[in-house]
Structure 1
Amino acid sequence: MDGIPLDESYTWAEARALGVTRRQISSDGVRLNRGLYVSRSAALDLPTRCRAWRRVLPADAAFGLHTASALYGCAASRAEDVHVVLTPRHVLPQHAGLRVHTRTLEDQDTSEIEGLAVTSGAQTFLDLAAALRPPALLALGDALARAGHLDLGALEDRLTRAARVRGVVRARRWAPYVDGRAASPRESELRYWLLASDLPDPQLQIPIRDRRGREVAHADLGYEQWKVALEYEGRQHAEHEQFDRDIDRYSLMSADGWLTLRFANRHLGRAGVVVDRTRRALQQRGWTPGPG
């Protein structure tokens, strides 16, 4: 700004102290909150907004919940509000666009990403357990683990330390099924419906071998014992090269005796369809439900 060394974000007081005029602030700054601005030269993305908010937050603040999930790259933040976690205190910061949550956290319950303090993957999973439906919670856990932000031992430790925390029952219910091998959120949701049913628990990333024992393909999800595979097919599978690869893979799987069930986005809202078709396929291959 005309040679004045301002950061990508600044407060009104900081800018005025450096000699920036009111008109210059009005011209350069995007108002994030009263007295808090982001320069128009910076991208107004989530990390930038969080770095701006950090200027007016206590030193122990960590970004959490939906904001932490988005910063980890594991889910898009659909809300404009930024979620921040603070240790309990008598007076909490109150700003439009900022949602403050109180938690008593230990050192291992926070991490850092893009220079920002965020709740750890385990803490984020626990905090969002009360806000997300079980399919979305499992998908979040899988995504955090897949991206290297969630260690299953750390998750078990955090849930053991959690007492009567809101959402802890749901978190403990689905934490044992978190698996970083799940390739996509939709695949995680597909797996959820099978885990929640009376069917056997499906396996992930099953190698498909030919008669000579060579791996010729793999099933994202399925049952090796009964040679039943389940595939979620998003829009990327319609692309020419991916379509050709899928045809080749399905042919190899079929040649080696695998039955492949293919599901799309519209099936994920119809749990009964997913479970019923999988049940029929398993029964065709010799599976029988146990007693009770």
Structure 2
Amino acid sequence: MKVPRPLPEPFASLPFTLQEAADAGISQRRLRHQGLGRPSRGLRVPTPTDESALGQQIRPYTQVTEFAAASHASAFLLWQFPGFLPGSDLPLLHISRPDAVAIMRRPGVKGHRGQFFADEITTLHGLLITTRVRTWLDCARLMSIDEITVVADHLLRIPRPELEDRSEPFATMDVLEDMLDRHKGTPGIRKARLALEQARVGADSAPETRLRLALAYAGLPEPELNAPTVLGPGVVRQPDLSYPEQKVAVEYDGEVHSDPARIIRDITREEDYARAGWLMVRISKLHMEDEAKGGVRKVRRALRSRGWAAGWKEK
């Protein structure tokens, strides 16, 4: 059996369109070889495909069809939004087109249509994709209000330039509100509006947002989020959530806190709070189970020990 000549990169490892192959001088005979998968008309995929990243898989579909962009669950994953979107674990590529053209109908593709403004489509590593804010709205109808809030907090978060390659948030409250005003009546918009009412700037992670919401539902006062707190000369900490009046700091310790070096830093952190007369409440993944009831109890008791009182009963 004659072995075909290897395809040049990137055709040897990434999905591509027949037009791209023709432009690169690859013969029709080579493209008919059985070693290339044919997921849909006008597309070829080198085997194996299991290792192809989502963006690499979806890009040819947006190239072979006009006015097409990755959207919904695919965009949710590509933007690395926190939380879980129902259906995002299914092997479907989500692609949107304007409502003035036909919906995409190809094997393995979930087609969508909608009204798109020019600034709601962007590129990610060369892939046409709905913007983060438009993706947030598109996915809202499948998510709970709290999970929509988690993503909103993620978009609003002020980045740390020393740790990230950006200095501006992905979105502002005005930008999110404008997106909702543009698309009145779209599925999920009511939930998105309710989520935006409880979104806040300052949460650094999804667990922090979920804990903040659980505390609010339990009737506890609203905490400050990652606010710089002076604990002594030259000692400034940024607790995940804090209650300056009661001097209670709440820190969520994720898996990264199991690192030996991090453990040492956490001990130093706790000592800093203690010397300044602050009470530190450490919350773990275990406290976040069952709608964070364990975390709520722990914070409530800490606040009560510092003089806070409200009309509640201990559960």
TM-score range relative to shorter protein: 0.7 to 0.9
1:62 aligns to what?
69
1:114 aligns to what?
125
Give 2:272's match in structure 1, choosing from 230, 235, 252.
252
1:129 aligns to what?
140
1:111-145 deviation line (CA, Å, top 9, x unaligned): 22212222222211212221122332222222233
Counterpart-to-counterpart distance in 1, 2:253 and 2:7: 53
Give 1:240's match in structure 2, choosing from 243, 260, 279.
260
Q: State, as a whole percentage, how many aligned pairs show the same letter.
A: 27
How do residues 1-292 of structure 1 correspond to structure 2 at under 5 angstroms? Answer: 2=6, 7=11, 8-11=14-17, 18-21=26-29, 25-27=33-35, 29-33=36-40, 36-40=43-47, 44-58=52-66, 60-75=67-82, 78-89=89-100, 91-146=102-157, 148-179=169-200, 181-212=202-233, 214-271=234-291, 272-289=293-310
Aligned length in residues: 288
1:38/1:44 contact within 8 Å kept: no
Counterpart-to-counterpart distance in 1, 2:93 and 2:40: 12
Query: 1:41–1:267: structure 2 CA closer, same or farther, 3 Å change rule?
Result: same
- 1:216 alignment partner AA: V
Query: 1:84–1:3: structure 2 CA closer, same or farther, 3 Å change rule?
Result: closer
Q: Displacement of 1:239 after TM fit? A: 0.6
Q: Displacement of 1:204 after TM fit? A: 0.9
1:60-104 deviation line (CA, Å, top 9, x unaligned): 222222221222232485332121222224742212221122211
1:192-218 deviation line (CA, Å, top 9, x unaligned): 222333222221112232344x43322
Counterpart-to-counterpart distance in 1, 2:75 and 2:185: 22
Query: 1:24–1:266: structure 2 CA closer, same or farther, 3 Å change rule?
Result: farther
Q: Which runs of 5+ in 1 are unaligned?
A: none
- 1:257 alignment partner AA: G
- 2:81 alignment partner AA: C
1:238-292 deviation line (CA, Å, top 9, x unaligned): 110011111110111122122222222232232332223322222222223379x
- 1:127 alignment partner AA: D
Query: 1:13–1:210: structure 2 CA closer, same or farther, 3 Å change rule?
Result: closer
User: Structure 1 stretch 85-94 or stretch 184-193: which is displaced more?
Assistant: 85-94
Q: Which runs of 5+ in 2 are unaligned?
A: 160-168
Counterpart-to-counterpart distance in 1, 2:304 and 2:252: 21
Counterpart-to-counterpart distance in 2, 1:5 and 1:62: 24
Counterpart-to-counterpart distance in 2, 1:109 and 1:246: 42
Counterpart-to-counterpart distance in 2, 1:225 and 1:85: 49
Query: 1:265–1:111: structure 2 CA closer, same or farther, 3 Å change rule?
Result: same
Counterpart-to-counterpart distance in 2, 1:121 and 1:6: 28
**Given the two structures, how large is their TM-score scaled by the length of structure 1?**
0.85
Query: 1:130–1:23: structure 2 CA closer, same or farther, 3 Å change rule?
Result: closer
- 1:38 alignment partner AA: V
Counterpart-to-counterpart distance in 1, 2:138 and 2:20: 34
Counterpart-to-counterpart distance in 2, 1:111 and 1:283: 49
Query: 1:5–1:218: structure 2 CA closer, same or farther, 3 Å change rule?
Result: closer
Counterpart-to-counterpart distance in 2, 1:265 and 1:34: 47
Counterpart-to-counterpart distance in 1, 2:186 and 2:39: 32
